[in-house]
């Protein structure tokens, strides 16, 4: 009988904790997604800068060809 009471108590505690977490919301929720988006934007910006530098170098060297 004590096993059943302990199981029901644990189940009730877990359900209460789950409901409390959903009601309050998780402040960290979505932070990983935002971090990934920022890293993607930074990577795209860096790639754009590298392409612009290479294009400028090739254009300047092409102008020196006689």
pTM score: 0.52
Q: Indicate the pLDDT class of residue 54, thresholds 50, 70 and 90.
A: very high
pLDDT at 9 over 80: yes
Counting residues of the chain whose pLDDT is more than 90, the rounded percentage is: 39
Residues in Cβ contact with 56 at an 8 Å cutoff, skipping those fewer than 6 apart: none
Compute the distance between CA of residue 27 and CA of residue 38 in angstroms, rounded to an integer.
Answer: 18
- For residue 27, what pLDDT is reported? 66
At residue 40 the predicted structure's pLDDT band, cuts being 50, 70 and 90, is: very high
The pLDDT assigned to 1 comes to 75
- The predicted pLDDT at position 60 comes to 92
């Amino acid at each position: 009988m004590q096993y059943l009471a302990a199981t029901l108590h644990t189940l009730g505690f877990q359900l209460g904790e789950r409901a409390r977490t959903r009601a309050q919301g998780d402040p960290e929720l979505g932070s990983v997604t935002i971090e990934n988006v920022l890293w993607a934007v930074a990577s795209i910006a860096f790639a754009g800068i590298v392409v612009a530098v290479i294009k400028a170098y090739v254009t300047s060297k092409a102008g020196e060809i006689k």
